[in-house]
Amino acid sequence: MSLRRVVVTGLGALTPIGNSVAEYWDGLSRGVSGAAPIQRFDASKFKTRFACEVKGYNSEDHFERKEGRKLDLFSQFAVVAADQAVLDAGITDAIDHDRIGVIWGSGIGGLRTFQEECVAFAKGDGTPRFNPFFIPKMIADIASGHISMKYGFRGPNFVTVSACASSSNSIIDSFNYIRLGMADVMVTGGSEAAVTEAGIGGFNALKALSERNDSAETASRPFDKERDGFVLGEGAGALILEALEHAQARGAKIYAEIIGGGMSADAYHLTAPHPEGKGVILVMNNALRDAKITPEEVDYINVHGTSTPLGDIAEVKAIQHVFGEHAYNLNISSTKSMTGHLLGGAGAIEAIAAILAIQNGVIPPTINHTTDDPELDSRLNFTFNVAQKRDVNVALSNTFGFGGHNTSVLFRKFRD
């Protein structure tokens, strides 16, 4: 059976450094930090009092008030980003909607809704008074449901949940559905809106978050010796994947080709990566094998790079194992240094960053670096602090999740 080629024909982004793809890319290329003191709630009693929130977002700019009340913020973000991508790709009613699907990713889903409803019940007299939209606002799969209902897309429809790897899993699944002939077009990506009291408090309890409250904008510092944890982010990224022949038949613009996806498990620890990066080695090799390319063909890796003491080291060890001497020819960067960690939405916005690096011939930087970590090989090009021009033919995007879920996705400059 011959597999169909799959291309990217539309993008959408709602991020802490820009509420459109153009704004997002401008922020990435200029090295803008999205971290700032939390505005959504009073965080004064928390160990971490800052995050990478989406800025300038107003629900009523996108939804009627009654409609907006039925959607948790993570679903709102999903619909807004997907809408950008659908418009960008030029998806019209002329395309068979039975052959358009939606696979979305979210690691947590409606955390704000869950928190508010449970707190309201606990403060009451024990009488069960819950909002009738409590469950359909909270469940993670509802995001893909809302996207499909808005446009009448009747193809495959579900949500992937694999913690911080969720939206990369959604991209890989969408890629496979198209190349196997089960759909012609897929709306895919991911969203998260976990900047809540429960989100910050829960990750603080895990000792996962940076507590650099006196310098929030520099707190996310992947590969820096002084890194002390990740910065929580929020937002959404959306991609339109399409069978090549389908895209060409309708004259669609093509951003890049998706050529491979890898998945693996660490099978090691609840939250910590394998110290030698065994699962990460496997997932990158799986992606390369799926794409039928050699390590030497990769130019850029948008790494998971969360700014945690253990995670950054394990990923770098894995890169050096897989790429050998070619590792020194790679550009490596962590855009989480700018956006923070969008959890289930991370893979989507980072895939977009990789695609735009191919499109523009620019590697977005890893910002906030001041001190080299002696445990990391200083000969590697981490693209510290300033974007670098480079012709990028192949880019790899890594995302890993609590529970040991690993994903790698490969994109290539499109050539007919």
Report the relative pairing of strands 100-105 and 362-363 from DSSP bridges: unpaired
Please state the rounded mean pLDDT for residues 130-153. Answer: 97
Rounded CA gap, 401 and 413, in Å? 28
pLDDT at 273: 87
Residues 174 and 226 in one domain: yes
Please state the rounded mean pLDDT for residues 30-54. Answer: 98
Residue 52 falls in the annotated catalytic set: no
Residues 210 and 271 in one domain: no
Q: What is the CA radius of gyration of the chain?
A: 20
315-370-205-48 Cα dihedral, nearest 10 degrees: -140
Residues 391 and 325 in one domain: yes
Rounded CA gap, 60 and 64, in Å? 6
Residues 235 and 316 in one domain: no
Please state the rounded mean pLDDT for residues 359-379. Answer: 98
Rounded CA gap, 101 and 80, in Å? 17
**Domain end: 249, 271, 292, which one?**
249
Question: Which domain covers residue 124, as residue numbers?
Answer: 7-249
Rounded CA gap, 341 and 51, in Å? 9
Rounded CA gap, 49 and 231, in Å? 10
Q: What does pTM read for this prediction?
A: 0.98
Please state the rounded mean pLDDT for residues 363-376. Answer: 98
Q: Is 65 exposed, middle or buried (0-12, 13-18, 19+ CB in 10 A)?
A: exposed
For 339-396, give the secondary structure using H, E and C: HCECHHHHHHHHHHHHHHHHHHCEECCECCCCCECCCCCCCCECCECCCEECCCCEEE
Q: List Cβ neighbours of 145 (8 Å cut-off, separation of 6 or more).
A: 157
Residue 416 has pLDDT above 90, yes or no: no
Query: Is residue 254 a part of any domain in this protein?
Result: no
Which of these, 333, 308, 323, lies nearest to 398 by C-alpha position?
333
Query: Which of 164, 209, 363, 387 is the catalytic position?
Result: 164
Please state the rounded mean pLDDT for residues 180-186. Answer: 98
- Structure-block tokens of residue 210: 């940076």
Dump pLDDT digits (tens) for 253-304. Answer: 999 999 999 999 999 998 888 888 999 999 999 999 999 999 999 999 999 9
Query: Is residue 220 a part of any domain in this protein?
Result: yes
CATH code at position 333: 3.40.47.10
**Domain end: 217, 249, 281, which one?**
249
Residues 368 and 329 in one domain: yes
Percent of the chain residues topping a pLDDT of 90: 97
Residues 65 and 166 in one domain: yes
Q: Are the beta carbons of 131 and 138 closer than 8 angstroms?
A: no
Residues 49 and 166 in one domain: yes
Cα 352 to Cα 64, 338, 358: the distances in Å are 29, 14, 10
- Total structural domains within the chain: 2
Please state the rounded mean pLDDT for residues 324-347. Answer: 98
Residues 288 and 344 in one domain: yes
Residues 315 and 170 in one domain: no
- Structure-block tokens of residue 279: 């699962």
